[in-house]
Amino acid sequence: MEPARELDAIKRWSSRFSGPLRGEAKPHDNDRSPDRRLRIGYVGGRLFGFHTQSNAFLPVVENRDPEAVDAFCYSDLPEPEEDPITARYRACSTWRRTGGLDDAELAALIRADGIDVLIDTVGFVESSRLLAAARRPAPVSVMFPPMMSLGGETVEYLLADSHILPPEADENYAERIERVALIYRWAPLVPAPDVVLDRPPGPVVFGSANNLSKVSSATIALWAHVLAAVPDSRLLLKAKGFGDPASRRLYMDRFTAAGIDSARVELRGWTPDLLGHLLIYNEIDVALDTVPYGGVTTTCEAMWMGVPVITLVGRRLLGRYGLALLRAVGLDEGIVFSADEYVARAKALADDRNFRRALHSSLRQRMAASMLCDGASGALALEAAYRRMWRRWCES
């Protein structure tokens, strides 16, 4: 869908569902002192636990400046499902269990807590609480990380950076864009396995562990061109859906229809623990990103396991996270802007075993030393953005 059509569709949704709720919102009586300590509310749905979102959000909450902000976490995660990651959120925030509240009750609680800046972290995905945010329970409302426009009636701001959302794309969003240097920060939730440097001799293995919903027809066609360019290579894919025999058959038929010999493709299903999941990267030489919706967590996982990633930069926000992540680590070799360049870069990496080994041995260290894994600076950058938005409200 073209950006203009997408924006028109989401504006219609927003006008129908969020608009009436926003119209009912009462004025806020928060203290308008521009430099006082702020109350930041994070609405996390069921995500404040062992979830990929925690790779990005936990560093923000744990590294907050307690002199500048107080953090409130609103969690719909049932108490029996809380885990050690949940405990870390609880240790550094005011914890609110909200699973038993409807959207109106959640909005009332947020208002009663005196939240100054409300961050919706869920968007339209499972356990969405957008209709609580639409009631404007806080003076400033923000979507982070951004996935798409919410239509303008639900939140006032999207937090982004110039990689995922360049200024020339602002016209495709109904919200005001507040930019920071790097919107996404990442930290491992558990110690990762060691990177295997000396891969066994044999065909080059391309791979992906992205969600099946991202393995589009365009992605399959692109991967088919890569395998054709590197005749002896293999494709290793891991996704929860591949645990289902019907899904395996469906996707194998799609690969075959695209001209990929099924003997060159291996499909693996769900792994019950993160360590087991990460170990698959020790079998992959080069990770291939999906299009038009690229990887985020999986891109970080691949680099953390020493595997270079090739990402095709798209026009839309969800196709540009790879650009931000790889550039933060200095892996410009993996950033391409056309399908032909994607295939050529994959072939070049396949042909250069020594370069791949150098990346296997250095990527984790490069990533750890980069802005991408600097949770403290990420928290400060976000808090500075919160402060800018807050001051605008104080002056309004």
pLDDT at 65: 97
Distances from the Cα of 139 to the Cα of 110, 116, 118, 361, 395, angstroms? 11, 6, 8, 48, 12
* Mean pLDDT over the full length of the chain: 94
Dist. CA 32–CA 55, nearest whole Å:
33
What is the C-alpha R_g of the chain? 22
Judged against a pLDDT cut of 80, whether residue 268 lies above it is answered with: yes
pLDDT at 126 over 80: no
Q: What pLDDT band is residue 7 in, cutting at 50, 70 and 90?
A: confident
- Of 60-74, 186-200, 319-333, the range with the lowest mean pLDDT is 186-200
Q: Using 50, 70 and 90 to split pLDDT, how confident is the model at 120?
A: very high
Instruction: Establish whether domains 23-185+374-395 and 205-371 are of one fold.
Output: yes
Strand partners for 176: 157
pLDDT of residue 232: 92
Domain range annotation of the chain = 23-185+374-395, 205-371
- Give the three-class secondary structure for 236: strand
Structure confidence at residue 15 (pLDDT): 86
| Banded model confidence at residue 8, pLDDT cuts 50, 70, 90 | confident
- DSSP state letters, 306-337: T--EEEE--SSGGGSHHHHHHHHHT-GGGEES
HSE at residue 98, side-chain half, CA atoms within 13 A, is 29
* 70 CB-near residues (< 8 Å, 6+ apart): 37, 38, 39, 40, 94
Higher pLDDT, 2 or 275: 275
Answer with the residue of higher pLDDT: 281 or 128.
281
Out of 3.40.50.2000, 2.130.10.10, 3.40.50.720, 2.60.200.20, the CATH code matching 205-371 is 3.40.50.2000
Q: Are 393 and 139 in contact (CB under 8 A)?
A: yes
pLDDT band at 95 (very low <50, low <70, confident <90, very high): very high
Distance CA(140)–CA(157), nearest Å, equals 8
**Fold category of 23-185+374-395 in CATH:** Rossmann fold (3.40.50)
Q: Cα–Cα distance between 94 and 83 in angstroms, integer?
A: 17
What is the three-class DSSP state of 66?
coil
- 1, pLDDT greater than 80: no
pLDDT band at 290 (very low <50, low <70, confident <90, very high): very high
> What is the per-residue DSSP string for 342-395?
HHHHHHHHHH-HHHHHHHHHHHHHHHHTSGGG-HHHHHHHHHHHHHHHHHHHHH
Q: What percent of the chain has pLDDT over 70?
A: 100
Confidence of residue 124 (pLDDT cuts 50, 70, 90): confident
Q: Identify each DSSP E strand in the chain by its residue range.
A: 38-45, 69-75, 94-97, 117-120, 140-143, 157-160, 176-179, 205-208, 234-238, 265-268, 286-288, 309-312, 335-336
Residue 260 has pLDDT above 80, yes or no: yes
Per-residue pLDDT band for 289 (boundaries 50, 70, 90) equals very high
State the pLDDT confidence band at 152, using cuts at 50, 70 and 90.
confident
